[in-house]
Amino acid sequence: MEHLDGRVRRENVHRKTSRMTAAFVATRTQAGTSTLLRQALGTGVGV
Tell me the pLDDT band of 42, cut-offs 50, 70 and 90. Answer: confident
Residue 38: exposed, middle, or buried by beta-carbon count in 10 A (0-12, 13-18, 19+)?
Answer: exposed
With the C-alpha atoms ordered 29, 31, 32, 36, is the resulting torsion angle positive or negative?
positive
Whole-number average pLDDT of the chain: 82
pLDDT of 28 above 80 = yes
Q: What is the structure's pLDDT at 35?
A: 86
Q: Which residue has the higher pLDDT, 1 or 22?
A: 22
Could you give the CA distance from residue 38 to residue 47 in angstroms, rounded to a whole number?
A: 11
pTM given for the model = 0.51
